[in-house]
Amino acid sequence: MSGWFETVAHAQRLAKKRLPRSVYSALLAGSEKGVSYDDNTAAFAELGFAPHVAGLSEKRDQTTTVMGEQISLPVIISPTGVQAVHPDGEVAVARAAAARGTAMGLSSFASKPLEEVVAANPRTFLQMYWAGGKDAMERRVERARQAGAKGLIVTLDWSFSYGRDWGSPRIPERLSLKEMVRFAPEAVTRPRWLLGYLRSRTLPDLTTPNMAEPGQDPPTFFGAYGEWMQTPPPSWDDVRWLREQWDGPFMLKGVCRVDDARRAVDAGVTAISVSNHGGNNLDGTPAPIRVLPAVADAVGDQVEVLLDGGVRRGGDVVKALALGARAVMIGRAYLWGLAAGGQAGVENVLDILRGGIDSALLGLGRSSVHELTRDDVVIPDGFTRPLGAS
């Protein structure tokens, strides 16, 4: 089958072949030296499994719930901004997630409107940054409510991404004629990517329709980014205030410390995502899988705990669940699938993860993802990082 791949790494290789150099390199973004970016995946490789050889379960169940939504596997789509990898962008991702029975996280900086994405996948959570005044935040919350979003994901783990030692691709604010001429040599070397946009009669959309004020054109990515940068960082009282504006499921994304996790519980959140924004936050922050056990222990069953960062295999998902996560969120993995094969490529990625989860459950003798415990994982000495636990 054209565009089919066997692993997430294979999808990444196909994405690299099909995307213009600057578009592909934007997907590899990690702040500064990329220490956190590298650790996100390397940490999973340090963990082992403790398999059984007999008495294995004939059937394995992967279904679970996240923020009130039943999903067919413990993997949901993490919100990522402006997706120039495919003309259908977040709508294709939402359809793929719906086809595979899971939920969609949509970024405020997405290239497709919330309403279109909810139509493609009713199990959609809107991600919000703390940007603009409280009036603007209230309007975005109300839009989410009117559009039928099932929950909010408030992202606070993107605060320090100012540069990369190996250089960042130049991203224009708008695709003007001058910018298209400058970008043309890259685009013509990737004819399949270019042909996709020509067939759709569109150009890569660098605006953020979910940040638009009523009656106004949507801001560019950098316009929305500038609003976020000029907004004072939120306090815990601000988090509590925002939680009060939304009467449904509410996730706080970006927790790495035990003390922050406890404050999130006090603020009334229903879920937290252990995350370092894919290595795009303060470089040197440990991989989420290293801090997960302490965070999960600290909050117990008071809130749902998810993990976001470094997941490339079904085995990674199982390791996260064994260490205390209810589910994981994936970002780069599905973007590579989207670049490699559109909606079918994202479905392919989810199928790969599902197969890997099933294999791990079989080897561990578990009949359900809910049976996983830390006894299933080999944790080397010094692996965990209980930040803020004193």
With CA atoms as reference, report the closest residue to 380 among 51, 74, 42: 42
- Beta-ladder partners of 153: 127, 251
The b-or-e profile of 10-23 (16+ CB within 10 A means b, else e) is bbbebbbebbbebb
CA distance 101 to 91: 15
Taking a C-beta distance cutoff of 8 angstroms, is the pair 30, 283 a contact? yes
Collect all residues with Cβ–Cβ distance below 8 Å to 178 and sequence separation of at least 6. none
With CA atoms as reference, report the closest residue to 211 among 284, 306, 136: 136
Neighbours of 130 (CB within 10 A): 18
For the question of residue 10 being annotated catalytic, the response is no
Taking a C-beta distance cutoff of 8 angstroms, is the pair 306, 184 a contact? no
232 burial type by CB count under 10 A (0-12 exposed, 13-18 middle, 19+ buried): exposed
Taking a C-beta distance cutoff of 8 angstroms, is the pair 12, 334 a contact? no
CA 280 → CA 26, 33, 328, 334, distances in Å?
11, 10, 18, 17
DSSP letter string over 179-196?
HHHHHHHHHHT-HHHHHH
User: Strand, coil or helix: what is 302?
Assistant: coil
Catalytic residue from among 52, 86, 277, 370:
277
* Cα three-residue angle 339-282-151, rounded to 5 degrees: 60
CA distance 144 to 141: 5
Tally the residues of the chain.
390
- Residues annotated as part of the active site: 277
